[in-house]
Each structure stands twice: as structure tokens, then as C-alpha cells.
Amino acid sequence: MKFLRINMNKKSYKFENLKSDYSMLAGRALTSKIILDEVEPTCNPLGAKNKIIFANGIFVGTSFPCPGRLSVGAKSPLTGGIKESNSGGVAATRIGQLGLRAIIIEEIPEEDELYTLIISKSKVEFVKSPELKGNGNYETVANLMNKRGNKIATLSIGPAGEQLLAAATVAVSDLFGNPARHAGRGGMGAVLGSKKVKAIVLPKTSEIEYDPIKSPEEFKKLTTEYNKILIPKKRGLTVYGTSALVRIADEIGGLPTKNFRMGSFDQMDNISGERIYDTIISRGGRPTEACSPGCVIRCSNRYVDKEGEYLTSGFEYETIVLNGSNLLIGDLDTIAQIDRTCDDMGVDTIEMGNAMAVAMEAGLVKWGDGKGVLALLRGIAEGVMESRIVASGASTAAKVLGVTRVPECMGQGFPAYDPRVFKGMGVTYATSPMGADHTSGPAIPGRIGWDTDNPESYGDLKESKGKIKLGRELEIIASLCDAFGFCYFVWPDLEFLAEAITARYGWNFDFDRLIAYGKMILLNEHEFNARAGILQKNLLPSFFYDEELPPTNQKFDLKPEKLKEVIDYF
């Protein structure tokens, strides 16, 4: 496996062999190590000294379950710290087929031109693309497919990325060519936009160059047996997708509602996973779809409008809740339109759910006004100032609009889990080097760490008991999922993971080595943030400590000195 390094100032590129100390790094482990080694921590995230890295995992293209995840890393314009944003789609697999473990894009062109990069096994073409300026992701990808065929995989940015707005995403084309999978968190689209890259095209190749599997028979045996266990175990996700959690979160009182003022929503039935499933079935959509090559869980979906026309896919829990109950919007079609518009403009649906709540607090849009939300989102394409403010993220929008109620950590808006009920998520938000990011330590109902012989040690979901232990273990395991390039819904048995790594590459991993590997990733990320001058506060916004959340009337009660124990463990 090699790196591809692209210099946008010189319009040059080179294929590099992996350095010896990088040979066992992939995915998030690799993006974070390159950022620590090569990016000046105090640099302007949108300046020439920042870099953006696209990296796949070590299992890409194999029979390992759900191996096609893509890590996108850079210094974040949203948090000011290190960021890895993770996505499905086809790009990670195509990058692996080219014999690449990572693509690094650095420097900035002197001229004010947008480029499309066409990447093949032996060269990179720098194609000036003025015709794509201002286009949404859907129009951009349609244009590229018309020119280069519908078998290409794409990475692209929408108008928000071109305008360097801090909530901008990188869109990744899915198995059906739709730019509906996104590296959403942390403003990675703004970093790519700062490099004047509108899109990256990865043509389909017949000359596939994956690294050979060290012990192919053992690897096949391990992964076949694990898939047989995993597929029936994840049946609920396959049928209803992540939206199944809407009803669960409402019933336990942790469903963010009206900017995290309440934990349940009186219109929950209208936006539940069951309602989404029934709507998709009745209209001829697809309730079950793979998000990337090799996905066996298939928790994605294809949501169509009343006429049966494709509207959006990957219609997920966080998007539905933060742009639904959190904004007092109870109409499923409106929320789907919001999802589609966010994808097209290239903005993070999680960040927008928080930023739109800020806009509602300020009176810019009325609570429950879905049409107003859509108008504000569509204004991004025209450069409307209010739209640009919102697309700069919830924290920035709050400062500009004079709003003090902002659910954020390190400048990044909260995912759709109120930490007064989802206590483990609160630990993750407060201690992750990524800011408030549920995928950094996903303490969803029923999830525990590696102490499977003692599950009661992690406590109940709603209580603080055991959450320091849970938080640090989940952050380590999540970092391993991101590093090795598979979906965290696989949530592997660590013994199986060690054996699979050893069979794949002969690296002789065991439990202790896996934990050390995960700690290394987190230490590198905290080290970068420290050098950047970012203080890890280990603290949530004050209203989560001060306000009781109805209907459970709970508060968050883990203080900074206790939360610091999570990081001290690394």
C-alpha cells in the first residue's frame, strides 16, 4: 500500500511508500498521525498549512464485515482541533483498489479556480471546473457522471464548502451514485474547499491492487463465522435502520426536543422508525440498503416522495431527531427534504439541527417552521448572510445572534442524545478530542465496554455509576473501528478482531496490543489539541447541570474533575 500526495499549489503529485513507522496505521490512526506529524497545530484551518487526508482501513475489499468506511482528517475549522470524520460510500473501496492507503491533499492554488481531481493508478489529472461553481452536490455528481460514466465514485463539496463555512461536509457517492453519504462533522468540506477542490473522481478499475491476505484460509474462516453471528444479531437495524432509536429515546425520556429542553416529543409517532418503514414500503422505496461495499448490516434506506421519486437515503436517527423533535417539526416529508437539502448544500445535518435551534431561539425562524428551515438552508447557495451564519455552526451562530443556550462542546453541536439521560454520551461529548461527537464513544442503549463478564459495572444507561469506565473503553474501541475501517455497528469482539488482524497481515495482535493501539490514537489526538492551545475542559454547557430534563427530571452530574479520569487513563 502507498500514499498519494497531491500539491494543489504546484499541481503536482507523487506516490510514496509507507514509512516504516506508518506501516501498521490505517483509517483514523493514520489521519491523526499524519496531522500530528505534518500540520502546524496553530495554523489557520483554512490556510495553506493545513492538510486533508482520506484514508481507508486494513480490511477494505475483504470479507470482514462492513469494511468500506472512509476516514477524512484535518485540523477542523469548527473546533480548531484535530478531526476525523467518518463516512460510508464507495470511495474507501476505490482508494484501496488503487493500492492506496491514503490520499493527502496539501497547499492552496494561487489562482481562484475550482478543480476536479481525476485519480487513477498512475496519475492525477487537475481539471479546471468553472462549470461546477455554486452547484449542489447532486448537480455536481450528475455532471461528472454525464462526462465520465456512472461507474465513477466521487468525493465532492456543495456551496457551503466553496464558501469555506465551518459546518461544510465532504459528500461521498453511495452504491447507487447518490452523494448521500457524508463525512459530516468538523467542517471537512470547508478544508477541501480551501484547497479549491470541488470534486475527486475515482474511476472504476479492473486492475485491483489490494495487499494479499497473509493467511487467507484462516481469515475466511474467521470472517465467515463472525458474519453468521453478526447478521441475525443486527436484524433490528437491518429492518428499521438507526431510526428505530427514535421511539426508544422518547420512551426513556432522552429524545432532544426544542433545543434540548425536553426529553420527549408529542409528535414522536409521526417521525418514528416504524412510521419511516411504513412510509417507504407504501411508496415503493427501499427500507434496507447497504451504505458501502461489503456492508452486511444494511441499516441504510432509500426514502422517496409521495410520487415515488428518490428524495434521500441514509435517513438516520440523528438527522431525524435534530431536525425534527429538536426543532418541533413533526412532518416526516419535511425532515426528509431538510436532509436532502443539507446533503445538496453540503452541510452537516447534526450541526444544522443545533444551528437551526439557535436560529429559532433568536427568532430568525419560528419553532416548527419547516419551510423556514428549508429557505434558510437553500439560501446558502445564494450566499444569503443569515444562511451563511447558520452554516458556520451552532456555536458561531449563537455568538452572532446573541443566543446563550447552545448544546456544544469544543464548538461542535451535540448529536441526538440528551446527556442527562444518556449519561455515557455526556462523558464522550465532554472528553473526546473531537468535541461533541457520539461516534467517538457511542454509549447507545445496551452497549458496554470489554468487561463482558461484569456488565453491571457499567451501571444503568441513566445513572452516573460506571460511566467513567464505560466512556474510556468506548472511546478506545471506537478508535479501533475507525482505524481499521469498519462500521462501529459491528462492535467487534476484541479477541476476534485481534485474530482477524493477525490473519490479514500477520501482525500478531492480541487484546493488550489492541488497547495500546487505541490509546495511541487518542493520545496523538489530545497531543495535537494541546499543541494547538485547546483546553480540554471536560465540561458540558451549564444548563445540562442546572436544568432538570422532563419527563425524567434528571440532570447531568459528572463534574470535570471526575471526567478527567477518562483522559488520564489514556
Q: Is 342 left (phi over 0), alpha (psi -120 to 50) or beta?
A: alpha
The helix/strand/coil state of 464 is coil
The residue-averaged pLDDT of 258-285 equals 98
pLDDT digits (tens, 9 = 90+) for 477-527: 999 999 999 999 999 999 999 999 999 999 999 999 999 999 999 999 999
CB–CB of 306/285 below 8 Å?
Answer: no
| Contacts for 512 with CB less than 8 Å, ≥ 6 apart | none
Q: Is 221 a domain residue? A: no
Q: Are 302 and 434 within one domain?
A: no
Q: Are 159 and 288 within one domain?
A: no
For residue 103, is pLDDT > 90?
A: yes
Pairing, β 51-55 against β 70-75: antiparallel
Q: Are 360 and 436 within one domain?
A: no
For residue 3, is pLDDT > 90?
A: yes
For residue 290, is pLDDT > 90?
A: yes
CB–CB of 90/180 below 8 Å?
Answer: no
Could you please report the per-residue DSSP string of 271-295? GSHHHHHHHHHHHT-EEEE-SSTT-
CB atoms within 10 A of CB 55: 31
Q: Are 165 and 46 within one domain?
A: yes
| Contacts for 19 with CB less than 8 Å, ≥ 6 apart | none
State the pLDDT at residue 297. 96
Domain that holds residue 400: 235-413
Q: How far apart are CA 190 and CA 392, in angstroms?
A: 10
The region of weakest confidence among 35-44, 200-209, 287-296, 434-443 is 200-209
The residue-averaged pLDDT of 184-199 equals 98
Could you please report the per-residue DSSP string of 176-238? TS-S-EEE-TTSHHHHHHHTTEEEEEE---SS--PPPPSSHHHHHHHHHHHHHHHHHHTHHHH
Domain boundary among 182, 202, 222: 202
Q: Are 54 and 175 within one domain?
A: yes
pLDDT band at 371 (very low <50, low <70, confident <90, very high): very high
Q: Is 165 a domain residue? A: yes
Q: Are 186 and 38 within one domain?
A: yes
Q: How far apart are CA 84 and CA 36, in angstroms?
A: 12
32 secondary structure, DSSP code = H
Of all residues in the chain, what percent carry a pLDDT higher than 90? Answer: 98
Q: Domain containing 508 — which CATH number?
A: 1.10.599.10
| Residue-averaged pLDDT of the chain | 97
The residue-averaged pLDDT of 521-542 equals 97
CB–CB of 57/486 below 8 Å?
Answer: yes
Q: Domain containing 247 — which CATH number?
A: 1.10.569.10
The residue-averaged pLDDT of 46-61 equals 98
Q: Is 227 a domain residue? A: no
Higher pLDDT, 458 or 18: 458
State the pLDDT at residue 1. 85
Q: Is 484 left (phi over 0), alpha (psi -120 to 50) or beta?
A: alpha
State the pLDDT at residue 206. 84
Start-to-end C-alpha separation, the chain: 29
Q: Are 185 and 68 within one domain?
A: yes
Residues shown for the chain: 570
Q: Are 491 and 537 within one domain?
A: yes
Domain boundary among 413, 442, 473: 413
Sheet containing strand 51-55, edge to edge, reads 12-17, 2-7, 100-106, 51-55, 70-75, 82-87
Q: Are 194 and 337 within one domain?
A: no
pLDDT band at 207 (very low <50, low <70, confident <90, very high): confident
Domain boundary among 187, 202, 217: 202
State the pLDDT at residue 149. 96
The structural domain count of the chain equals 3
Q: Are 531 and 402 within one domain?
A: no
The residue-averaged pLDDT of 67-88 equals 98
Q: Are 439 and 404 within one domain?
A: no
For residue 209, is pLDDT > 90?
A: no
Q: Are 320 and 297 within one domain?
A: yes
Q: Compute the 3-state secondary structure of the chain and give helix, strand, coil in percent, each to the nearest 5.
A: 40, 15, 45
pLDDT band at 162 (very low <50, low <70, confident <90, very high): very high
The helix/strand/coil state of 524 is helix
CB–CB of 8/195 below 8 Å?
Answer: yes
CA distances (Å), origin 503, targets 88, 216, 236, 267: 24, 7, 30, 50
